[in-house]
Amino acid sequence: MKLFTAVFALALAAHPAPACAGASGSVTVGQLTYTLVDLDTADGIAPSLVFEPLPNPNPSDPSHLGFASVVYSMGFDTGHQEQAAVGTEPLELSYDLGSAGAVTGRLDGRAMPATQQLTVEASANYGTHGGVRTGAYMDTGYMGFTLSPRTRVEFSTIMHVQAGVTSGPALNEWFFGRGVMSLWFGDLPEPTAYYQDAAFAAATVDPLSGPRNVDESWTMTVAHDNTSLEGQLGTVTFNTSTTAQSVSFVPEPGALSMALAGLLVLGGARWRARSRRRV
């Protein structure tokens, strides 16, 4: 009985939630830069890297296409949409939930591989609508290139995260942003060389110190040495994802299903994006 009373008291204490409580932020990744190093200055071969044109000359291969996916969960209400970037125009997907929040994903710079940039924004605000979770995932798709013999290439891109939370009584608010950069040579699923770098950041509410906001940048870098006497075909990609949530510690009706549905949908989108690369 004492245990039940304690749990009931905790539930009553955790339930009140002001509409101002929430989490929001943005993640930007891009543009792509690279440096070349001559590994053999005596061979008479000038270092070079030549990208394949965008969009991909073979549109039947979806792995070369940029990709966007957005999702939201609000009580029993969930939504999801995804789209591939088949041309050079910007690709943008979004949901506007009014006072409950919003989620947007945007891919720019499709005219040239090195100019591509990904931006995802998400916000979730707890109020009369109950718990909210929003998320987005974006991927540049394959960016193929040819690297000259006896040449080292180092790719880099910058991820910037700007996010904050507004705390409320006994609420669970956080914003999570992540970026991943990948480089490989040879054919999938067993490339001859594979490299990856990642960065992530979170804005949360610490029970003791209060809200923790984020406004930082990280550089992701991948590199490869072509020591052969022939040019090598390679592929570089980068992607970003984000999630914002504002939910009560004590689940409201449908809160658990909301969380599971949101994670499954967004996770499914990421799985499809990864599977798409292996085509």
pLDDT digits (tens, 9 = 90+) for 179-223: 999 999 987 678 899 999 999 999 987 766 677 889 999 999 999
> Three-state DSSP class for 245?
strand
> Three-state DSSP class for 274?
helix
Amino acid (one-letter) located at 66: G
pLDDT tens-digit map of 227-248: 999 999 999 999 999 999 987 6
Average pLDDT over residues 133-147: 94
DSSP 8-state secondary structure symbol assigned to residue 231: -
- The predicted model scores a pTM of 0.79
Mark residue 257 as left, alpha or beta (left: phi above 0; alpha: psi -120 to 50; beta: remaining).
alpha
pLDDT tens-digit map of 156-185: 999 999 999 886 654 678 899 999 999 999
pLDDT tens-digit map of 91-100: 999 999 998 9
Q: Lowest-pLDDT range, 84-88, 118-122, 126-130, 185-189?
A: 126-130
Q: Lowest-pLDDT range, 2-6, 220-224, 259-263, 273-277?
A: 2-6
pLDDT on residue 43? 92
Contact between residue 142 and residue 59 where contact means Cβ atoms under 8 Å apart: no
Spell out where the chain has E strands. Answer: 22-30, 33-38, 49-51, 66-74, 77-85, 91-96, 101-108, 117-125, 132-139, 143-147, 151-166, 171-185, 193-206, 210-212, 214-226, 232-248
Mean pLDDT comparison of 10-24, 122-136, 142-156, highest-scoring range: 142-156
As given in the structure block, the two tokens for residue 131 are 């718990």
Average pLDDT over residues 93-118: 93
pLDDT tens-digit map of 38-52: 999 999 999 999 998
pLDDT on residue 128? 67
Average pLDDT over residues 126-146: 88
pLDDT on residue 60? 62
pLDDT on residue 247? 79
Q: Which pairing describes strands 232-248 and 132-139: parallel, antiparallel, or unpaired?
A: antiparallel
> For residues 93 and 47, what is the distance between their CA atoms, to the nearest angstrom?
39
End-to-end CA distance of the chain: 58
